[in-house]
Amino acid sequence: MRIDLCTLFPEMCETVMGESIIGRARESGFLEVHTHHVRDYAVRKGGYIDDTLYGGGKGMLMQAEPFYRCWEAIGQQAGGRPHTIYMTPKGKLLTQQRAVELSNMEHLCILCGHYEGIDQRLIDEIVDEELSIGDYVLTGGELPALVLADCVARLCPGVLADESCWQEESHGEDGLLEAPHYTKPAQWRGHTVPEVLLSGHHANIQQWRREQGLLYTAKNRPDLLEQAALTPADRLFLAQSQTKGEAGP
Ligand code: ADE
């Protein structure tokens, strides 16, 4: 997969995308990431790329043309039109399901806005979808773009050592949160590890994890239970734990 980021802060993006799993995936050729400084495509003297709002209002808006030229150059370089995403708090909420769909695309171009955003005409002309990473507002689109790029990239073949792991993690196929995990030592500051995890009994461990995942979801994200793939046994367990007053782990 190829990901292009259009930003006013390419160094910030390069730093994040050069570290850890994503950095190694780039080095081994499983992932191609390019960052572009939108200011390099400025049309005004001094590299200015923002201006005041028509109709009045506080703040500045990023102009359409520098983004358009940057995007056009990316398309020419890659030999095709990328799927283009604009990060904005006005966008649709990013979900794991959308990330899985995006990871099947060959080429993504992510636009990072600043100030009051980007001229709407640019969005109408080149943007395929607007995405938000949550119901809060950040100072710019770089962190959201990096969140999206990381989330999508780790789903691409070759990026994670064990690809099966993302099927069983939180927000995976069943739509539930994961059970809690424990590592050595078995005793830590007076806290023990749940007996069942030391038993070596695979079926009991599986059942315990399922139940703990259900309790965790009910406690922290009850909204997810509405969409989750629950079995009759899951529903019975949740109903019983509610009458017992077990809100969660
Ligand atoms: N830009 C500023 N805040 C944002 C958010 N929550 N999601 C996406 N882009 C943003």
- pLDDT attached to residue 169: 87
Size of the chain in residues: 249
What's the CA-to-centroid distance between 117 and ligand 1, angstroms? Answer: 10
Ligand 1 midpoint to CA 148 (Å):
11
The pLDDT value given to residue 161: 86
Write the CA distances from 223 to 84, 175, 217, integer angstroms.
Answer: 30, 11, 8
Its sign, for the CA torsion 75, 81, 82, 85, is positive
Q: Report whether 153 contacts 159 (CB < 8 A).
A: yes
Q: Hey, which residues does 93 pair with through a beta bridge? A: 132
What is 2-153's CATH superfamily? Answer: SPOUT methyltransferase, trefoil knot domain (3.40.1280.10)
Instruction: Give, for all 249 residues of the chain, the pLDDT tens digit.
Output: 999 999 999 999 999 999 999 999 999 999 999 999 999 999 999 999 999 999 999 999 999 999 999 999 999 999 999 999 999 999 999 999 999 999 999 999 999 999 899 999 999 999 999 999 999 999 999 999 999 999 999 999 999 988 776 667 899 889 999 999 999 999 999 999 999 999 999 999 999 999 999 999 999 999 999 999 999 999 999 999 998 876 555
d(CA 30, CA 229) in angstroms, rounded, equals 32
CA distance 155 to 163: 8
Task: Give me the pLDDT at residue 115, please.
Answer: 85
Ligand 1 atom with the smallest distance to the CA of 141 is 1
In a 13 Å sphere around the CA of 144, the CA atoms on its Cβ side amount to 30
**Spatial CB neighbours of 154, under 8 Å, sequence gap ≥ 6:** 21, 22, 160, 166
Position 39 scores a pLDDT of: 98
Give the distance (Å) from ligand 1 centre to CA of residue 159: 26
Q: Where are the domains of the chain?
A: 2-153, 171-244
The pair of structure tokens assigned to 6 is 């259009």
Range 171-244: architecture per CATH: Orthogonal Bundle (1.10)
Structure tokens at 7: 């930003």
- pTM of the predicted protein model: 0.94
Alpha carbons 17 and 103: distance in angstroms, whole number: 16
pLDDT attached to residue 244: 83
Distance of alpha carbon 150 from alpha carbon 154, whole angstroms? 6
d(CA 20, CA 18): 7
Q: How far is the CA of 171 from the centre of ligand 1 (A)?
A: 21
| Residue list, ligand 1 pocket, CB within 6 Å | 87-89, 132-134, 136-138, 141, 144
The protein residue with its alpha carbon nearest to ligand 1, atom 6, reads: 89
User: Encoding tokens for residue 207?
Assistant: 């059942």
Residue 222 burial (C-beta neighbours within 10 Å; 0-12, 13-18, 19+): exposed
